[in-house]
Amino acid sequence: MKEISDEEFDDAFPDGVFVIPRLPGHPRVKVRALWEYCQEKNILPKDLSKEEIERFLEKK
C-alpha cells in the first residue's frame, strides 16, 4: 500500500471537499481518522474488523 502525505491527500481535493452524500439515518464516517488508522496498521479499510469500523462511525 502506497503511503501518501496529508498534503498530497488534501491536494487531491482542490475545493477542500471530499465527501460522499449519505442517506438519511446512516452514520457519518470519520474519514481522516479511518485513513490514519489504516496507515498506522498498514492495512486497507476493507480489512478492518466490525469492531474497528465502529470506532469511525458517528451516529446521529
- The model's pLDDT over 19-46, given as tens digits with 9 standing for 90+, comes to 677 888 888 888 889 999 999 999 999 9
Kindly report the pTM of this predicted structure: 0.60
pLDDT band (50, 70, 90) for residue 51: very high
Kindly give, in sequence order, each residue whose CB lies less than 8 Å from that of residue 54, ignoring residues fewer than 6 positions away: none
Element (H, E) at 36: helix 31-41
User: pLDDT at position 34, please?
Assistant: 94
pLDDT over 80 (residue 1): no
pLDDT over 80 (residue 53): yes
Write the DSSP symbol of residue 26.
P
